[in-house]
Chains A and B, each alone.
Chain A
């Protein structure tokens, strides 16, 4: 073995953990198990035990029902279409950003990634406004569909389009990270041999990127099958049922009596997700250590700039900016269907949402408190877990990491049902049921937040010299002391970034809280959904706009502090 290899291998071999540290990890394992795994296991046990003596009877009944087969078929088709769309656009964007010298990259990436920050239901709402027959923008362009015709988005294709645009961001991030792993010398050697940029992209970059592209596609697929907001807003009116809306609808229509059959459908969703994740594991290794080496030198675009730049911004404009603009327009309307003029524009919706509706004000406080708590707690758990994963390469930590991914990969609705099943009866010692309180929402949020907070933390730890921790050990500091005085300060920016990411997602989320909220404990996502469901679309639009402003503000804060963060933590930092 060469010196370098020995040193590298020695620095990252799994280290034995003394008993106290193993105990620490076991506590983390317990946390993950209680909030994430137990609800899922309970859900599946419900499936197999609801008909006593016949574990598979329920599954048989459910899987043979026509509505389920239709929903399953739709889910697979729509998700596959959305994934294809997302993979092509996301990879193309990653290549354009990563390989060329296009100006204005940061802004372009930010706009491209906006769908990641904006909750799916708001995206769907915005798109419906954009493509409806009384869309202001489309009418200005004389492109509006005929009045009285169904909104073209209310269809399988509409779902594919909106989900595809939404999930392109995920593919982009994965492929972008993969690009960073392309060694610069490979490209330089090719250039010396006389290869031009197109040749190099085709022959060298794309093959190296293949695992990352597949990984991104798998992630996009898993997100698509678990997406609730888009199918709820586009699929229901379009008579295009999908598995997530089927679950929601069954619970709505038939009550908790169907928890068993809903569990069976959830099992199906989980199976699909597992296939997706399995393919990801098979086809694409986890992105390797982010190289500290030199960045890829971008290829100069030359004359192609005149074609590519306008095309890019046209696409960004249509796919991201226009729908949001339409949403903004709707928020100023007194009622749906009224054309926007200087006379008709009103601030009533904002007034209602901010001042008059006690429910919305409560929801702001609730969502803020929940999201903040989820962010802080997840960061605190991510710190030791990331440490054990990256610096100590503990096998137990890797197991915990895998288990922690489960509640995140599983669709939010499925997790919510599991959480209800587990926490509906009173807790053992305290004799208090968490159902109907704000705590049950927090538990579900925590279960979904850990992987989000873990990724930047692990990235930061991977870049850390293990010797910094070992020097602390030599100096006599035990784990807790090292965590506090050496490790946390070293990865603090990434921890904060993880916490903020969690906050941004939890602040606006709908899928989980749709089933878990209760009187006084509404979240913002739920309020938007309810306003929309009550017919108060203009109010819903106003609230959605406010939420977007908050999220964008936070994103700008993250951008501002991004130079203290390891590369890749702030997704849109080009």
Chain B
């Protein structure tokens, strides 16, 4: 059963078009990340799902229920969803237990049942001992977990999370990421998670919706996003690819095509649809050639090492290709070359970006 269906959503604020033609289908229990740079519209989309804003056009269904669109608008209090806010939004005048149990008391759940559910929720996040404390007495990470427990007590089918880890330090962030994954699997609730951090999205989500400028760039599993980005934006946003112009010669088979980068022949993944195209390369897609072996322009390209950066275990060499004014390439290597040394590099892999007008991948 699809848990969240958003169809062709649009929303503008004054002259600013925050969202256009956003569609998304999330299956029950899925972990979907909304990923993109600031201003891309991901928070707006989340707030539309929550009901804090009303879409200009399009519709939203939660479960089987139409909550927005076609003349209907259900306010947030009636949507039965959970939300973890970036600022946690814990009510300072209530204890942890009162915070967690608030939704239940609003619904009139009898006292004994309510206390049981609150205890369960607190145990799920490991804060059973803090039930009588007040938010002011808790650390950032603890408040984060109370905010989560508050959602869990309601046992909602959908939980929205608005950059919940943005205010925590790196170590705590990793712990909480494990928590989110675990809870998602244990509870079976659909998680919709907003973040601007691509590493976080990749490690947490089943599928990622990459957004930019209010539009969908790609909706796919993290592996696909990494290996087969649909647009330049996705390629550059995730994994720090380098996007370079290539000449495509011919399709070798279903998966590979023959191409030319600065006169060097190479074999790239993807489909050759036109002669001039863009391809995306990762630092590991190049092989650095040091030494004075004679090279043929068609099998390798010459360059000069501008800088070498240590990456904890391996190195990144910044190589300026002689053939072009393109910015320096980042090439992964085990052994650091000399800065200023002339080197050569071979293309081992790469992905041909689909032409821009075919860029939107359909949701699967």
Contacts and interface: CB of A to CB of B under 8 A. Distances in A.
A474 B50 contact: yes
B31 interface: no
24 contacts: A1-B16, A3-B38, A6-B39, A6-B43, A10-B47, A16-B54, A18-B73, A467-B87, A467-B88, A467-B89, A468-B91, A470-B76, A470-B83, A471-B89, A471-B90, A471-B150, A473-B75, A474-B76, A474-B103, A475-B77, A476-B103, A478-B77, A485-B102, A490-B92
A1 B53 contact: no
A15 interface: yes
Contacts of B44: 10
Contacts of A477: 77, 102-103, 106
A199 interface: no
A191 interface: no
Given A465-B87, A467-B87, A474 B39 contact: no
A207 interface: no
Contacts of B81: 474
Contacts of A6: 38-39, 43
Contact of A490 (B38, B93, B107): B93
B85 A471 contact: yes
Interface string B67-104: 00000010111101111011111111100000000110
Nearest to A468: B89
A210 interface: no
B109 to A, nearest CB: 11
A563 interface: no
Given A10-B47, A13-B13, A468-B91, A475 B39 contact: no
Nearest to B54: A16
Given A470-B85, A475-B77, A477-B77, 6 more contacts: A3-B38, A473-B76, A475-B154, A476-B77, A477-B106, A490-B91
Contacts of A474: 50, 76-77, 81-83, 103
Contacts of A9: 13
Contacts of A478: 77
A345 interface: no
Determine which residue in A1, A18, A475 has the highest number of CB atoms from chain B within 10 A of its CB, and name it: A475
B53 A15 contact: yes
B103 A475 contact: yes
Contacts of A13: 13
Nearest to A7: B43
Interface residues of B, number: 37
A1 B78 CA distance: 32
B310 interface: no
Contacts of A490: 91-93
Q: 6 closest Cβ contacts across the A-B interface?
A: A3-B38, A475-B103, A467-B89, A473-B76, A471-B89, A467-B85
Contacts of A16: 53-54, 73
Determine which residue in B51, B53, B89, B90 has the highest number of CB atoms from chain A within 10 A of its CB, and name it: B89
Contacts, number: 85
Interface in B144-164: 150, 154
A489 interface: yes
A485 B98 CA distance: 11
Contacts of B88: 467
Determine which residue in A6, A465, A471 has the highest number of CB atoms from chain B within 10 A of its CB, and name it: A471
Contacts of B53: 15-16
A473 B82 CA distance: 10
Contacts of B82: 474
Given A1-B39, A6-B39, A476 B47 contact: no
Nearest to B79: A474
A491 to B, nearest CB: 11
A475 B81 CA distance: 8
Given A10-B44, A476-B103, A2 B38 contact: yes
B54 to A, nearest CB: 5
Contacts of B80: 476
B258 to A, nearest CB: 43
A475 B85 contact: no
Determine which residue in A16, A474, A476, A481 has the highest number of CB atoms from chain B within 10 A of its CB, and name it: A474
A465 B44 CA distance: 18
A434 interface: no
Nearest to B104: A475
A7 B86 CA distance: 11
B280 to A, nearest CB: 26
A387 to B, nearest CB: 15
Given A475-B106, A478-B77, A486 B54 contact: no
